[in-house]
Amino acid sequence: MAVPQEAAPPLTIHFAPMARRDLAAVSQVDRECFDPPMSLSQIQRLWYRKQRFNWRVLRVKNEMDFPLPSSLVVAYACYVDHGSQAHLLKLGCLAAVRGLGLGRWLLLQVLREMTRSGVLEVLLEVRESNFVARRLYFQHGFREDGMQPGGYPDGEDAVLMSISQLQGQTVQQALRQQHQCVRIAQTAGSYTLEDRHGGF
């Protein structure tokens, strides 16, 4: 009788603070996601200012059958925490893994960190033409506050978005429900998601 083969363990992706070794990989994600992108030297200078800028990555624990280049960082976010107010500056995923829910997971984890640090209001800007990102933010409690004409170097308008009551019961309940749904969906697939802090 043939011995049944064990199912391959799923890929594990960690939410973690960005490390020095991630600089080149984060630069690669930035080039794929943003126009204009930051240079590697710009990212490095900002990363060294850790007291102001918070950098977070999704890092792959192994590469088994996952459609990735040599980099093990698949997504990153950067935000500034001013105490009661935070500004989400960047959030992007490699093109190879878009559509898998990793951007949603990363956003949820960042909002969770902001909640724990006492942030009340979250601000961000997004290109008017980036309907995918606008929908993602809207689904997680952000509202569109207006436009900044010519907010990008190529002249495209920026949509200003915010969460005004991050600590509010309604927002927190919605985020917990979304967190649970993402956990169920992703662990049922080809990879699992882990973080350093436990549940939402």
Q: What's the token pair of residue 169?
A: 């019961």
pLDDT digits (tens, 9 = 90+) for 156-166: 999 999 999 99
pLDDT digits (tens, 9 = 90+) for 94-113: 988 888 888 998 999 999 99
Cβ within 8 Å of residue 92, ≥6 positions away: 29, 30, 32, 33, 34, 75, 76, 77, 103
The mean per-residue pLDDT over the stretch 164-180 comes to 89
pTM: 0.86
pLDDT at 3: 41
| Helix (H/G/I), strand (E/B), else coil: 138 | helix
Q: What's the token pair of residue 195?
A: 């973080």
